[in-house]
């Protein structure tokens, strides 16, 4: 666990942090319509992938490698174990000079996330989780504090960008029941810890790219929270294309209450 944390922090120090608020125009590219990538993403992923493979020689499924060759993501289903890597989670924030970005990875075995790491460079904060062994922040064990039982006192984030327009309008209207809807931080590596530490009570995501959600979902569930699809099935990393929604919440009661409100059930 310590070695992987070191790999992320060292790759960040070498390839990411020196470019924060110092990117030149030629170091920011569009990898798909509306999706940007930077030289920092690509260099950090190469460093992390090489060192993780040296540590445990299983396939490395990195966000930028999959952008170049989507077939690589099939390893999540085909291989007994894989590393998942998000070299700069929150690239749009990074490019804009906002501090809300993270460097993340996770280890998946048999379809289950068994270990995860999140490094927040600006805050110099390290999160890690191990299946059955707990969630930690800088060596301190994390337990999600209780959420309010009243929907009107809950704070949440609704990530509705990728929803169909009618579904987006319906869910946004249903959210009027809650106490506050936060706009989010545009980075799962920032948002999941906010739920774990009690600053937000729930988040609904539609798009669930595996490198975005495997690290934080394990951190949350090991701290006592819930990460489940809208049918109640526990979250498992899937290759891109599984866009059927993910609701994360402080605890089982908050998950059920939030799901009912969002679906108007």
Could you give the residue ranges of the DSSP H alpha helices within the chain?
2-11, 39-55, 63-68, 75-78, 91-96, 165-174, 188-196, 210-222, 252-263
- The secondary structure of 86-113 as a DSSP string is EEEETHHHHHHT-S--EEEEEEEETTEE
pTM assigned to the model? 0.96
Strand partners, 134: 130
Q: What letter would DSSP give residue 17?
A: G
- Name the phi and psi angles at 131, rounded to 5: -55, 120
Query: Which helix (H) or strand (E) segment is 204 a member of?
Result: strand 202-205
Give the residue from 102, 6, 110, 15 showing the smallest Cα distance to 52: 6
116-143: per-residue pLDDT in tens? Answer: 999 999 999 999 999 999 999 999 999 9
Question: What percentage of the chain has pLDDT greater than the value 90?
Answer: 90
What was the pLDDT predicted at 161?
83
215-246: per-residue pLDDT in tens? Answer: 999 999 999 999 999 999 999 999 887 667 89
35-79: per-residue pLDDT in tens? Answer: 899 999 999 999 999 999 999 999 999 999 999 999 999 999 999
Give the residue from 153, 165, 161 showing the smallest Cα distance to 250: 153
Cβ-based neighbour number of residue 11 at 10 Å = 27
Section 248-253 average pLDDT: 98
């Amino acid at each position: 666990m310590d070695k992987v944390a070191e790999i992320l922090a060292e790759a960040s120090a070498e390839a990411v942090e020196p470019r924060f608020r110092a990117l030149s125009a030629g170091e920011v590219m569009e990898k798909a319509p509306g999706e940007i990538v930077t030289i920092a993403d690509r260099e950090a992923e190469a460093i992390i992938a090489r060192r993780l493979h040296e540590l445990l020689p299983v396939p490395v499924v990195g966000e930028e490698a999959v952008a170049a060759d989507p077939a690589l993501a099939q390893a999540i289903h085909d291989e007994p174990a894989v590393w998942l890597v998000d070299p700069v989670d929150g690239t749009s924030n990074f490019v804009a000079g906002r501090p809300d970005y993270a460097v993340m990875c996770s280890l998946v075995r048999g379809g289950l996330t068994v270990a995860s790491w999140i490094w927040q460079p600006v805050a110099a904060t390290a999160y890690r989780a191990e299946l059955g062994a707990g969630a930690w922040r800088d060596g301190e064990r994390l337990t999600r504090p209780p959420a309010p039982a009243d929907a009107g006192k809950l704070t949440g984030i609704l990530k509705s960008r990728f929803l169909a327009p009618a579904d987006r309008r319906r869910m946004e209207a249903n959210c009027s029941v809650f106490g506050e809807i936060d706009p989010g931080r545009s980075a799962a590596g920032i948002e999941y810890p906010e739920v774990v530490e009690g600053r937000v009570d729930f988040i609904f995501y539609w798009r669930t790219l595996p490198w975005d959600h495997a690290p934080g979902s394990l951190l949350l569930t090991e701290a006592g929270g819930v990460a489940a699809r809208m049918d109640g099935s526990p979250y498992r990393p899937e290759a891109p294309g599984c866009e059927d929604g993910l609701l994360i919440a402080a605890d089982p009661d908050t998950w059920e209450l939030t799901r009912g409100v969002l679906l108007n059930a």
